[in-house]
Every structure is written in C-alpha cells, then in structure tokens.
Amino acid sequence: MHRLFALLLIVATALPAWGQDPPRAGLMWNRSGLPATLPLVVQTMPGRDYVVFLAPPQGGDPVMAGFIQGGTFFRLLVPPGTWAVRFAHGRDWQGEDELFGPATEWIGLDQPLTFEAGVARRQGHLIRLMESDGQVEVASQGPLDICQGLTVTTEIDRRDESDEDREALNLLPALGLQDLRDDFDTFPRSDFNRLPAPGLRRIETELDTRSRVCPLD
C-alpha cells in the first residue's frame, strides 16, 4: 500500500502543471509608478490568449502587464513614456510565473512605442496580431490619437428689481458705515446702514469633455 502511494506521488509530481483559470481581461499590474492615461488597443484572433508586457526600451523588468483574451476587443490605458512592447501567447494558462507553460511563445515589436499627451490630444497605438500557419505575427501597427474637446455652456438668469425684492433681499450691509445716530429715532438703524444692491443674477456653467479618435492628417 505504501509503495502504491509513493508511486502515485512520483507520477503526480512528474506530470506538467495543468491549466488554471485565466485572469480577467485587462490590467494585471502597473509597477511604473505613473498614472495610466494613454490608450493601447490590441486586436487578436480567437484560439489563444496573450499577455502584453511594457518595459523600458533600454532593458529591465516590465513595468506593466495586461491579459488579452484572444478574439475579443482589448484596450489598456498605459503610462506616458517610450516602452518596448512584447507579447507572450499560448492556449493553457498556468499562472503569472509560468504563463502558458513550456508552450509559451513570444513576439515583440521591432521598435519601442511612445505614448504621450498634449493639451487636446492623447497619443496611443493600435496593434493587430494575426495567426498564419500556426505562427503569430504583427499584421500592423500604427498611431491611435484621441482628440479631446471642451464645451462650456453658461446660462445667466437675471432677476428684475422690485420694491418688494429690494426690501426683502437686496438690502445688503454697506461696508465701512457705522450707525452714528443711535440717539435719534428718525433714522432707523437698518435704513441707515444698508444700501440697495443690484438685481440678483444666477450663473450656471456646465463643462462637457468629449473624446474621439482624431482624423487622419
């Protein structure tokens, strides 16, 4: 019995790790210390999943990773800077350390990508990955610029002055005046120390920020 248990244990440890439940599509982690505000869009084909890594172009550990479900729309906000972009891909997810196990394959872009933001434009990138004869390759890569427009709407509501309004609302304290006639009943304190204010106005301002893909130049 003990020999059978030992044999089963040896066989179990010798078998390769089987697939785990993959993470949700989107950001896995951001270790750059920078805010992620610039768009990276990746289009893939179904059949395998991907992990995209961003790293400094001069070398070093990745600063960001995102999980991509093959064949689904993927959009990731990345920090500003110039980054080397690489993809790991496979079919059986085995965790962040093993990725897709021994069958993990890699593909990277030849040149690093620059992500930056201006006053009215955010510069991102669109990458298309295609599979041909069992091999994944970069089909296309290009800029994806997002234009931002700010619309300001202002409404002014002016209230007409009337005797009743002036008496009830528009009598405001006049700065610098003091009641010097405390001994006289002829000049009530409220009338002496208050001056009519102009008609009331209410100003309402709405700010509307809208983003759209910039037209090609």
Neighbours of 144 (CB within 10 A): 19
Consecutive H or E run containing 2: helix 2-14
Gyration radius from the chain CA atoms: 33
Q: Name the pTM for this structure.
A: 0.65
Per-residue pLDDT tens over the stretch 84-111: 999 999 999 999 999 999 999 999 999 9
Q: Is the pLDDT of residue 60 over 60?
A: yes
pLDDT band at 79 (very low <50, low <70, confident <90, very high): very high
Q: What is the pLDDT of residue 120?
A: 80
Q: In the prediction, which pLDDT does 14 show?
A: 41
Confidence of residue 140 (pLDDT cuts 50, 70, 90): very high
- 57 DSSP assignment: T
Single-letter amino acid, residue 5: F
What's the average model confidence in pLDDT over 153-182?
52
For residue range 39-54, list pLDDT tens digits in order.
999 999 999 999 999 9
Residue positions counted in the chain: 217
Strand pairing partners for 40?
76, 125
| CA nearest neighbour of 107 among 79, 76, 68 | 68
- Measure the CA–CA gap between 66 and 53, rounded to whole angstroms: 7
Domain 21-147 CATH (choose: 2.40.128, 2.60.40, 2.40.70, 3.30.70): 2.60.40
In the chain, domain spans? 21-147, 151-211
**CB crowding 155-192: b at 16 or more within 10 Å, else e:** eeeeeeeeeebeeeebbeeeeeeeeeeeeeeeeeeeeb
pLDDT for position 26: 97
